[in-house]
Structures are given as structure tokens and as C-alpha cells.
Chains A and B, each alone.
Chain A
Amino acid sequence: MTKSEVKLLGAWPSPFVMRARIALNIKSVSYEFLEETFQPKSQLLLDSNPVYKKVPVLINQDKPICESLIIVQYVDDVWSSGPSILPSEPYDRAIARFWATYLDDKWYPTLRSVRGAKGEDERKKLIKEVGEGLTLLEDALNKISRGKDFFGGDQIGYLDIAFGCFLGWLRVTESLTGVKLLDQVKTPCLAKWAERFCAHGAVKDVMPQTEKLVEFAKMLMAKMAASTPN
């Protein structure tokens, strides 16, 4: 496939965009990365994702695909000769999809709301929930990996991608709150998994540096504070 046939519309801070990039990297797909401008949203974004107007959008031979996990599955389906992303067994696939849904519907929204917490009590409560989620994920990793390096086994797979993309923002939250969330004592397997994930060939060039993300988060928070009426 020539480079211009596959395009990914995205934004460097977005964990969801990272999912798509990791999937394409695993399959060694050449693609053109288009950094979305946002203010205002580009015509390409509005045309290719009229429903949600969000990134990532994968455009393959002029056909747009939206929603990060759907993109990851699509990449797995199209470039089927590359290393598999979804597990091969239906039950293992269901478990991977279950946890990915949990991450998107429950865990990440809780992590995000830590930054916007109103008051110390609310922040503490949310941090506790994030920690409880990590304990569940530690347990899941132990069961699913069957002693191997990743949720996907010897290689990173769907759930590694679905979860690992949030590590940058997890570190940002640790930095901003001063609370260690991914604890080597409480969740030793996850802590080791996180290091391996971030060092992986398909991940390391697309994982943003924590310092840059912290700066970006601070800028976002300042903007929000400025636009919130008193």
C-alpha cells in the first residue's frame, strides 16, 4: 500500500490516537499522520467524522473509520498477514473486549475527572477509585497473560493497546497530584508491564513524553479556569 493511501488524522496528546498508531506500527503499515488543528476543527475532520467530530480518524483508500477501538480491530482485519492484535480464541477476545470497554466507560473517565476534582475530598475519592480499578487490572493481567509479558501473551495485543495508551495521562495525574497511582508494591505486575509496554518498538515513538503532556495538561486547565464563569 502506498503511503498516501493510508492516513491517520490525530493529535499527539490523545491516548485514543495512540491506539491507532500502535496498531498500524504492529502491522508495519506506512501511513501519513495528519495533526488536527482543532481551533477551528478542520474540514477534513468534519467531513470524515460528522457524527462525533473527534480524532482519531483512519482514512484508508478514502474511506474513513472512526472510534479508536474500532480502528484497531479494522487494522487487525485488513492487515491480517501481520502479527495478530486480537486474541485468536473467541472467549479470550470477549475478555479483552470486556476490559477495553471497562477502561473506556469507567476507569479512564474517573482518571480524567481527578484533574477537575472540586476539593480535596472529591480528589481523594476519585484517586481511590482509580487505584481500585488498577487492582482489578492487576488481577486481570495475572489471569490473562498466563505468566507472559503482555495481556496479549508474548506480543502486545488489543488489551495492551487499549490500556497502555493511558499510561502517559496516568503519569500526568501522578505528577499533578503528587500521588503514586501505579504502585510497584500494590500492583507489581502492572508496574513491570507498563515499563515493557512503553519500551516496545511499536509504542516508544508514539508515546508522548510525560513532561510535554504535563505542560499540555496545565495549559488546558488554565484555559478551562479562564473560561469558567464565577
Chain B
Amino acid sequence: MAANGEEVKLLGVAASTFVCRVQLGLNLKGVEYKFVEQDLENKSEELLKYNPIHKKVPVLVHNERPISESLVILEYIDDTWKVNPFLPSEPYQRAMARFWAKFIDDKVLLASWTSVFTNDEKEREKNIRESDEALKFLEDELKGKFFGGEEIAFVDIAAVYIAFWVPLIQDIGGLQLLTNEKFPKLYNWSQEFLNHPIVKETMPPRDPLFAFFKARYDNLIASK
């Protein structure tokens, strides 16, 4: 139980970038919570009770009330705990932050992921192109140290996938999705982001995650 009697639980898994977004959100606000590790091959009653529609993680449970969908959860966290706001107060800037966070889900995630985890070379080429196009938009959008300016904010949190997961999977796949040469501002952003003290303590250990995804990759290639 957190200091003021509130109960905050997060149902999640270490490998998930969506879960990581929520952990970052909670940690940046200094919210105490209990992390309940899930076995997605053998879904718990708790998970099925709190997310019956999608049966997925992350699920934030605040005083027994569940919220699902990582970006919805981040907005809830920002609405509920007012310290260190993630979203700007100015309406147009808020709209832009929401737009770019959604853009990451719509255009960056699947393309970059599929670039690595596919056996179809044509699919791979197509997805690399799409990933490049999407990352270029973000490269052009980055004006300061972070997407949020001087401080980490909504879009930076949403983009944790780009900073931590993309370098990992590109190593596994032998690809160059995010490099200093291709996207210098975005690459620099990823270094600043990963060096932020709260981000550092929130990221899952790299080696087990690498091993986990490498095993999946090897299985995929072997099944060709």
C-alpha cells in the first residue's frame, strides 16, 4: 500500500514496452506501486478479471479499479497524480503530444518489429522502408533534448520502445534501424533518455531480454 493508503498495482511482464511505459510514468511521478509479474502463457485469474476484453498487459489497478491500454493508462496517471505533468497544459501542444504518441503506435512499432521478425525478405524490405519513413518524421519533430523539451514528457515515455527495444532487436536481426548516421537527433535523444536516472532504474535488464528475443528470432529463422 502506498503512503497515503492508495493501492496501486501494475500487472505486467518485463519484456513488454507497453508495460515499461506505465512503469516509467509511475516512477517519474514517484508513485509507489506493486508490480505483479504475469505469465502470459498461463493467464492469471486476476488478469482475466481486470482485462476481460483484451486479456493483455499492462493493466493498472488503482484502488481496485482497472485501466488498460498503455496510452490510456498514461493519461490516467497524468490526470490523477499532478506532480511532474507529462502533457502540456496548452491545448495545441497537448494535441501534438497525443498525435506523436499515437504515431509511434501506428507507424513505428509494427514496421520496425516486422523488419526483424519476418522470414519474408520482401516483407522485411517494405517494413524497413516504413520504419525509416516513420523515424524520419520523429527525427524532424525533435526540437530539443527531449520531445517534451528540457524534461521527459508524454511522447518520450511513449517512445521508450525506440530507445531500448529497437537497438536490441536491430542487433538481433543484423539491421540498422536507428543509428547516429541515419537519425542523429533521434539517436542523441535515445542516449539522453536512457541516461536519465529514473529511466535507467526502470529499464528491464538488457541481457535476459536480448536472450528472450534472440530465441524467438532463432526459432523463426529455423522454421523457414
Judging by beta carbons under 8 Å apart, are A70 and B95 in contact? yes
Q: Tell me, yes or no, whether A212 is within 8 Å of chain B by CB.
A: no
Q: Which A residues lie within 8 Å of B76 (CB)?
A: 90-91, 93-94
Q: Smallest distance from the beta carbon of A73 to chain B beta carbons, Å?
A: 7
Q: Smallest distance from the beta carbon of B104 to chain A beta carbons, Å?
A: 12
Judging by beta carbons under 8 Å apart, are B95 and A65 in contact? yes
Q: Which A residues lie within 8 Å of B102 (CB)?
A: 67, 70
Judging by beta carbons under 8 Å apart, are A74 and B91 in contact? yes
Instruction: Give A136's nearest chain B residue, CB to CB.
Output: B53
Judging by beta carbons under 8 Å apart, are A93 and B79 in contact? yes
Judging by beta carbons under 8 Å apart, are B95 and A94 in contact? no
Q: Which B residues lie within 8 Å of A77 (CB)?
A: 91, 94-95
- Which stretch (B62-70, B117-125, B144-152, B170-178) binds chain A? B62-70
Judging by beta carbons under 8 Å apart, are A97 and B92 in contact? no
Q: Smallest distance from the beta carbon of B102 to chain A beta carbons, Å?
A: 6
* Interface of A: prevailing SS: helix
* Interface of B: prevailing SS: helix
Given A94-B67, A94-B72, A97-B69, A73 and B80 touching (CB < 8 A)?
Answer: no
Judging by beta carbons under 8 Å apart, are B92 and A63 in contact? yes
Binary CB contact string for chain A from 102 to 143 against chain B (1 if under 8 A, 0 otherwise) = 100000000000000000000000000000000010000000
Q: Tell me, yes or no, whether A216 is within 8 Å of chain B by CB.
A: no
Judging by beta carbons under 8 Å apart, are A74 and B67 in contact? no
Interface positions of A (Cβ within 8 A of B): 51, 60, 63, 65-67, 70-71, 73-74, 77-78, 90-91, 93-95, 97-98, 101-102, 136
Known: A93-B76, A101-B71. 20 other contacts (CB 8 A): A51-B107, A65-B92, A70-B98, A71-B95, A73-B98, A74-B91, A74-B92, A90-B76, A90-B80, A91-B62, A91-B65, A93-B79, A94-B72, A94-B73, A94-B75, A98-B67, A98-B68, A98-B72, A101-B72, A102-B53
